[in-house]
Structure 1
């Protein structure tokens, strides 16, 4: 991650991803939306629960390796490896930022 110059909220997200669900939720706006694995999680409580469930179910590492801009989105490509089906995989994280926080995130292959 140190070789990429990620915007601060996105860098904070990837740092928090390796910590607690509470730390990760602090990266988002109050009404943020996360879309992952066909589910939508809206609001800090739902985002925190999503992260807690993923952490309980799987152990994984995420290494961002590319950053692109698509309209009003920041798209990070990251290598994710762990004990989940299909590991390892390169994922796309589409972030929309708002006032120094993440307003939306969509994770896809």
Structure 2
């Protein structure tokens, strides 16, 4: 199996705060997901930037209701002491039906300071 990932890139590579966010996001539990972010965190998704927990909460609520989809973690790796990449496959009723997205996390003080989501 060749996937160009380091051999230690398994979901347990991810810190608890990231898995807590991903679990909350998957369950459409905005309160749990938002608690994983710093107060002044930034999320960049689909070319849009959301700054601060209020804007991120609105983005989470909207993304939970805009399309119906399932999300699977397909890979995880740590790129340095504060940065992690979690690769997900989304399947649903959005244009295209299937997409692989890279969730690029930057942590500060045990919370998510920045999240960039892109193919």
TM over 0.5: yes
When Rg is computed on C-alpha atoms for both structures, the one with the higher figure is 2
Which is richer in strand? 1
Structure 2 match to 1:53: 62
1:85 aligned counterpart, secondary structure? coil
The normalised TM-score by structure 1 is 0.90
Partners of 1:35 and 1:41 within 8 A in 2: yes
Query: Which residue in the other structure is 1:63 paired with?
Result: 72
User: In structure 1, the residue corresponding to 2:58 is in which secondary structure?
Assistant: helix
Question: What's the RMSD between the two structures over aligned residues?
Answer: 1.4
Q: Look up the SS of the partner of 2:116 in the other structure.
A: strand
Q: How many residues align?
A: 107
- CA deviations 1:56-78 (Å, max 9, x no partner) are 21122211121123344201111
- Among 15, 22, 27, which residue is 1:14 paired with? 22
Structure 1, unpaired ranges of 5+: none
Structure 2 equivalent of residue 97 of structure 1: 107
